[in-house]
A = this chain, B = another copy of it.
């Protein structure tokens, strides 16, 4: 058997794909087992329950997405450019043919209780993203960096939501334009303040 990756990661990967394509509740444990070619007890020994598997899938997807955002923005030192790069990266991400939008948004839609383990994982993701965005907007030295980060985050989330429906990169491109306008505005206000 040529399992390069341990079974645990294999299950995590197959589960992520199926959850993204079919949804969390609509994907039965047996479907994941078939896809991964793995016995039932292997899954339950590793994760304990379907809910815990979902939590780990969401956490992994969150770290992966934030990692992507980081790699997209690494190409520049200028925080203004970084935000543009962020939306360009997002647009490129949507070009992947098998992509069905953001897994974490899907999880938020299916698990609305913020107190549940899955809800907690979603909140962790939200905090990660906002922390990432705030780190960039603070570097712009514009006033109201956190407000700017919140607005950029709204565009980011909106682009993901729209891309799930229209399945194209246009929302991300439009979000990039909107972000550029918001940045220009914040920049202009900063200059006014200096005078």
Contacts and interface: CB of A to CB of B under 8 A. Distances in A.
Nearest to A100: B112
A1 interface: no
B114 A23 contact: no
B161 A161 contact: yes
Interface string A164-180: 11110011001101100
A21 interface: yes
A65 B110 CA distance: 20
A123 B26 CA distance: 21
Contacts of A181: 151, 181-182, 185
Given A109-B106, A157-B158, A165 B122 contact: yes
A94 interface: no
Interface residues of A, number: 45
A153 interface: yes
27 contacts: A22-B112, A23-B109, A23-B111, A100-B112, A105-B109, A110-B110, A123-B165, A126-B166, A150-B171, A151-B175, A151-B177, A153-B158, A153-B162, A154-B154, A154-B171, A154-B174, A154-B178, A155-B178, A157-B157, A157-B158, A157-B161, A158-B158, A161-B161, A178-B178, A181-B182, A181-B185, A182-B182
Given A105-B109, A150-B174, A154-B158, 4 more contacts: A151-B175, A157-B157, A160-B161, A182-B182
Interface of A: 21-23, 25-26, 100-101, 105-106, 108-112, 114, 122-123, 126, 147, 150-151, 153-162, 164-167, 170-171, 174-175, 177-178, 181-182, 184-185
